[in-house]
């Protein structure tokens, strides 16, 4: 039961459209005979004229993988006017939440490494087919920063020729709108029929629908509906939602909300095929009606979207080329300058000449969002910690116009190969691919201007794409994954240079909607790293992150994080949080291996203090005087050494030039100062090699020398640097 995926598309937009929660499963038995009033259209409906389909060059791999795209009805994400989600739980005890320790996960001792396998669901997030290698030219211009979009011309963000634009839009939209009109008419008729059917059921059931089971004399439940009957099951789902919406007026006497909620949970599991564990978790996120819409939206695929690669072409040119091949498309929405939503295609989108030439990448719309939030600037150093197969890496590179440097890392070597394929195909030239566990950063490398952590996750936002998530995620996954995500987010923060002149930002994203993988991870980062704060993502749509839910309270700034749902925006479920690093990691902070120290300010108090390990990277570009040995200059060092030597000899009344050994020592970079030898260490810094207690005396002597005489430069510098390092 509940096994299949509905291919029926979503109805008209609107987060809580009644039609979203009143449609039937396709595999349900036929409804009681209800006449479907088909609305008459005012305009004549003609068969759409399509541009002649030109056969594309199809590679063997692409041939087997790519399929023509079916049209999607609902338009791509639009900013919602109704962004409020009630935190209200179904259970009677939803309120009165004030336990400050709710963010403590009790998993500190759990050792997790790599965990590629656990990221499996989310790894299917992007639709990209990585079977194609690199293709030549990269002489195209990026249009990202061109003039803002005009209302009447969705294409005009990156083009200037209005005439061409209108023709292009008209040619494409003519066929498209006819098709959409037909679809809408059918949809309206269906929705109307379903509403009437629901009404019929309601009338039969009376004002207070009979939903909950009675018990017989022996306390055994008397089943009032055969749950094997999908149609009846759906009716009961509808009725239960109605009751929970208006409990006072519609609930049977003597019944609690919890009883209705439990019935709803059972029916959702039976109808949609979820494990009770996951359905329960997801049900907790929404009021009943919205939860119903969420589960329903997971039964329909999201629209196919492609991202224009602005390193190779402009969106309008790409659109024109694809329209000529018989692709029906439209800009994905005002929020993106590079996305195109595909409604229908005569050719496999993973095998067109434009695809092979790297003019676009198949990428879910919500995958654009973390990159847009990170907003990388030209010439920056950016780390993409979990990058394969590279949808976001290549987007980062395009926004940076192939300047600066992107380090694209992934722990999974096979997936990293796909990443390399995409980088080549899309003409990315500013990216270095690496294959570490991201937990190893910033030891591998640090000091980045911006870091993207698109974390491995449970994939509860992409159930429409991977229905196995419904049953294969266990309680253990929801402990291990957040634990890994928490470690990764600390590594991400520690890899950023808070001194960055242009950046200092971290974006954390998942394609999951659970609180454990999102707000709780972000709260953990706020607790453990008081040197970061949440900032606005800059994204124009999305629901606010939770500040309070299911007994957990989060920092008020959690409102600045953004949640995306399939039923609200017709995009994959997603979460995006943006941090600004405002200072170095303080010595009393908690390290990434899960030990904790005292929280600060509004942050939740944590458990215990442990040894501090400084993970803050040494920035490369810092002023020499500011850095810890980072800017040591060999030549300059030699000059100081020689000058110090001459001063020393003069003081002693000796002629420096007359002492060949001293001169030689000086040139080798070694010398004796009052019996103490100073030598360069292997990494170019200097260390005193005097042993035991003498070392301290010699150190004081050297400092005194430096302070009192002209030749103390090198020692002064060394002492200053040492002092700085210790206090960092
Ligand atoms: C959500 S996917 C990334 C999708 C990618 N950002 C994109 O846009 O194409 C998560 C990735 O994390 C990788 N991963 C899992 N554990 C990791 C770890 N410890 N360090 C680095 N990457 C890891 C997986 O191999 C997977 O490719």
Segments forming the whole domain that contains residue 696: 630-727
Residues 481 and 617 in one domain: yes
pLDDT of the residue at 714: 31
The residue among 558, 591, 621 that closes a domain is: 621
Instruction: Select from 112, 114, 119 the residue to mutate for testing ligand 1; criterion: most ligand atoms less than 8 Å from CB.
Output: 119
The CATH number of the domain holding residue 442 is 3.40.50.150
- H/E segment holding residue 409: strand 405-409
115 — pLDDT class (breaks 50, 70, 90) = very low
Query: How far, in Å, from the CA of 434 to the mean position of ligand 1?
Result: 12
The reply to whether ligand 1 has any atom less than 6 angstroms from the CB of 122 is yes
Residue with tokens 């006449």, as numbered in its chain: 35
ipTM reported for the complex surpasses 0.90 = yes
Domain assignment of residue 475, yes or no: yes
Residues 133 and 233 in one domain: yes
> The tokens of 671 are what?
């010398």
Share of the chain above pLDDT 90, in %: 48
Residue 213 has pLDDT above 90, yes or no: no
Query: How far, in Å, from the CA of 308 to the mean position of ligand 1?
Result: 23
Mean pLDDT for the chain overall: 70
Domain assignment of residue 590, yes or no: yes
pLDDT of the residue at 286: 98
713 — pLDDT class (breaks 50, 70, 90) = very low
Among 51-60, 396-405, 444-453, 574-583, the minimum mean pLDDT is found in 51-60
196 — pLDDT class (breaks 50, 70, 90) = low
Instruction: Select from 115, 116, 436, 453 the residue to mutate for testing ligand 1; criterion: most ligand atoms less than 8 Å from CB.
Output: 116
pLDDT of the residue at 623: 37
**Quick one: which atom of ligand 1 is closest to the CA of 113?**
19
Query: How far, in Å, from the CA of 367 to the mean position of ligand 1?
Result: 13
Cβ of 519: how many Cβ atoms within 10 Å?
25
User: pLDDT tens across 516-538, in order?
Assistant: 999 999 999 999 999 999 999 99
Domain assignment of residue 693, yes or no: yes
Residues 576 and 650 in one domain: no
The reply to whether ligand 1 has any atom less than 6 angstroms from the CB of 370 is no
ω into residue 442 within 30 of 0, thus cis?
yes
CA dihedral 356, 317, 180, 289 (to 10 degrees): 70
The reply to whether ligand 1 has any atom less than 6 angstroms from the CB of 389 is yes
> The tokens of 632 are what?
């040591």
Instruction: Select from 390, 412, 482 the residue to mutate for testing ligand 1; criterion: most ligand atoms less than 8 Å from CB.
Output: 412
The reply to whether ligand 1 has any atom less than 6 angstroms from the CB of 572 is no
Residue 617 has pLDDT above 50, yes or no: no
Determine the 3-state secondary structure of 606 from DSSP. Answer: coil
Residues 230 and 280 in one domain: yes
pLDDT of the residue at 187: 76
Residues 485 and 604 in one domain: yes
200 — pLDDT class (breaks 50, 70, 90) = low
Paired sense of beta strands 431-434 and 405-409, if any: parallel
Residues 281 and 382 in one domain: no
Query: How far, in Å, from the CA of 113 to the mean position of ligand 1?
Result: 13
Query: How far, in Å, from the CA of 415 to the mean position of ligand 1?
Result: 9
Q: Total domain count for the chain?
A: 3
Domain assignment of residue 260, yes or no: yes
283 — pLDDT class (breaks 50, 70, 90) = very high
**Quick one: which atom of ligand 1 is closest to the CA of 122?**
1
179 — pLDDT class (breaks 50, 70, 90) = low
The residue among 574, 598, 621 that closes a domain is: 621
pLDDT of the residue at 195: 64
Residues 603 and 649 in one domain: no
Residues facing residue 378 across a β-bridge: none
Instruction: Select from 399, 456, 490, 576 the residue to mutate for testing ligand 1; criterion: most ligand atoms less than 8 Å from CB.
Output: 456
The reply to whether ligand 1 has any atom less than 6 angstroms from the CB of 126 is yes
Domain assignment of residue 486, yes or no: yes
pLDDT of the residue at 651: 60
The residue among 327, 362, 397 that closes a domain is: 362
The reply to whether ligand 1 has any atom less than 6 angstroms from the CB of 411 is yes
User: pLDDT tens across 25-42, in order?
Assistant: 444 433 333 344 444 433
Q: Give the integer Cα–Cα distance in Å for 473 and 700.
A: 63
pTM: 0.64
Residues 647 and 686 in one domain: yes
Residues 300 and 396 in one domain: no
Residue 448 has pLDDT above 50, yes or no: yes
In this structure, which residue's CA is closest to atom 15 in ligand 1?
116
Task: Go through the chain and tell me how many residues it has.
Answer: 728
Does residue 511 carry a catalytic annotation?
Answer: yes
The reply to whether ligand 1 has any atom less than 6 angstroms from the CB of 437 is yes
Query: How far, in Å, from the CA of 426 to the mean position of ligand 1?
Result: 20
The pLDDT of 414-423, averaged and rounded, is 96
**Quick one: which atom of ligand 1 is closest to the CA of 511?**
1
pLDDT of the residue at 438: 98
Backbone dihedral region of 570: left (phi > 0), alpha (psi from -120 to 50 degrees) or beta?
A: left
* Top mean-pLDDT range of 154-158, 317-321, 585-589: 317-321
The reply to whether ligand 1 has any atom less than 6 angstroms from the CB of 423 is no
Domain assignment of residue 42, yes or no: no
The reply to whether ligand 1 has any atom less than 6 angstroms from the CB of 116 is yes
Residues 692 and 601 in one domain: no
Residue 604 has pLDDT above 80, yes or no: no
Residues 522 and 550 in one domain: yes
> What is the maximum alpha-carbon separation in the chain?
116
The pLDDT of 57-79, averaged and rounded, is 41
User: pLDDT tens across 349-384, in order?
Assistant: 999 999 999 999 999 999 999 999 999 999 999 999
User: pLDDT tens across 220-250, in order?
Assistant: 665 555 456 888 889 999 999 999 999 999 9
Q: Which ranges constitute the DSSP H helices of 457-597?
A: 469-472, 477-494, 519-528, 566-569
Top pLDDT among 86 and 714 is at: 86
The reply to whether ligand 1 has any atom less than 6 angstroms from the CB of 374 is no
User: pLDDT tens across 383-407, in order?
Assistant: 999 999 999 999 999 999 999 999 9
Residues facing residue 578 across a β-bridge: 507, 535
The pLDDT of 204-209, averaged and rounded, is 63
Please give the annotated binding residues for S-adenosyl-L-methionine, written as ranges.
386-392, 410, 454
Domain assignment of residue 58, yes or no: no
Domain assignment of residue 111, yes or no: no
**Quick one: which atom of ligand 1 is closest to the CA of 125?**
1
Residue with tokens 């510098």, as numbered in its chain: 717
Residues 195 and 83 in one domain: yes
């Amino acid at each position: 039961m509940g096994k299949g995926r509905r291919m029926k598309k979503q109805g008209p937009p609107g987060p809580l459209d009644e039609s979203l929660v009143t449609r039937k499963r396709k595999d349900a038995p036929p409804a009681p005979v209800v006449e479907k009033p088909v609305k008459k259209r005012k305009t004549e409906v003609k068969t759409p004229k399509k541009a002649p389909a030109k056969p594309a060059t199809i590679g063997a791999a692409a041939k087997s993988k790519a399929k023509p795209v079916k049209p999607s009805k609902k338009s791509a994400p639009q900013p919602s006017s109704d962004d409020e989600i009630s935190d209200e739980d179904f259970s009677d005890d939803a309120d009165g939440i004030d336990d400050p320790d709710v963010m403590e996960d009790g998993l500190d001792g759990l050792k997790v490494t790599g965990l590629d396998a656990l990221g499996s669901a989310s790894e299917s997030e992007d639709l990209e087919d990585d079977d194609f290698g690199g293709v030549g030219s990269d002489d195209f211009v990026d249009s990202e920063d061109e003039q803002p979009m005009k209302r009447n011309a969705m294409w005009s963000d990156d083009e200037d020729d209005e005439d061409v634009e209108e023709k292009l839009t008209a040619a494409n939209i003519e066929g498209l709108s006819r098709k959409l009109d037909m679809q809408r008419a059918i949809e309206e008729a269906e929705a109307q029929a379903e509403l009437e059917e629901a009404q019929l059921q309601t009338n039969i059931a009376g004002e207070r629908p009979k939903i909950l089971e009675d018990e017989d004399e022996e306390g055994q439940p008397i089943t009032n509906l055969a749950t094997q009957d999908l149609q009846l099951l759906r009716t009961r789902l509808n009725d239960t939602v109605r009751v929970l919406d208006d409990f006072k007026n519609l609930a049977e006497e003597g019944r609690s909300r919890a009883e209705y909620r439990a019935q709803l949970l059972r029916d959702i599991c039976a109808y949609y095929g979820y494990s009770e564990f996951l359905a329960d978790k997801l049900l907790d996120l929404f009021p009943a009606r919205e939860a119903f819409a969420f589960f329903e939206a997971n039964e329909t695929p999201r629209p196919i979207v492609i991202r224009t690669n602005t390193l190779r072409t402009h969106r309008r040119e790409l659109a024109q080329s694809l329209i000529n091949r018989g692709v029906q498309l439209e800009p994905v929405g005002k929020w993106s300058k590079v996305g195109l939503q595909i409604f229908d295609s005569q050719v496999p989108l993973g095998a067109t000449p434009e695809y092979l030439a790297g003019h676009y990448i198949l990428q879910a719309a919500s995958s654009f969002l973390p990159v847009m939030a990170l907003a990388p600037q030209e010439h920056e150093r950016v780390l993409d910690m979990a990058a394969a197969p590279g949808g976001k890496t290549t987007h980062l590179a395009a926004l940076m116009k192939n300047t600066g440097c992107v380090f694209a890392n992934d722990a999974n070597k096979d997936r990293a190969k796909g990443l390399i394929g995409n980088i080549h195909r899309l003409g990315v030239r500013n990216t270095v691919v690496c294959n570490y566990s991201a937990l190893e950063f910033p030891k591998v490398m640090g000091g980045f201007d911006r870091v993207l952590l698109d974390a491995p996750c449970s994939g509860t936002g992409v159930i429409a794409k991977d229905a196995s998530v419904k049953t294969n995620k266990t309680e253990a996954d929801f402990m291990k994954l957040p634990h890994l995500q928490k470690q990764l987010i600390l590594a991400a923060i520690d890899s950023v240079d808070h001194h960055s002149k242009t950046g200092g930002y971290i974006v954390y994203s998942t394609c999951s909607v659970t609180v454990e993988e999102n707000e709780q991870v972000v709260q953990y980062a706020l607790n453990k790293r008081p040197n970061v704060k949440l900032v606005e993502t800059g994204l124009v749509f999305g629901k606010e992150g939770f500040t309070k839910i299911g007994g957990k309270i989060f920092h008020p700034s959690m409102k600045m994080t953004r949640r995306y749902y399939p039923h609200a925006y017709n995009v994959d479920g997603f979460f995006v949080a943006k941090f600004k690093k405002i200072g170095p990691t303080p010595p009393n902070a908690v390290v990434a291996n899960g030990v904790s120290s005292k929280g600060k300010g509004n942050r939740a108090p944590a458990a215990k203090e442990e040894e501090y390990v400084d993970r803050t990277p040494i920035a490369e570009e810092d002023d020499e005087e500011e850095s810890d040995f980072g800017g040591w200059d060999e030549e300059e060092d030699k000059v100081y050494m020689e000058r110090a030597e001459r001063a020393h000899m003069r003081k002693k009344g000796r002629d420096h030039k007359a002492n060949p050994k001293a001169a030689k020592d000086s040139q080798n970079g070694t010398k004796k100062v009052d019996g103490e030898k100073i030598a360069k260490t292997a990494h170019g810094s200097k260390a005193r090699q005097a042993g035991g207690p003498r070392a301290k005396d010699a150190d004081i002597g050297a400092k005194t020398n430096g302070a009192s005489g002209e030749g103390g430069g090198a020692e002064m510098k060394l002492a200053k640097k040492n002092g700085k390092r210790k206090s960092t």
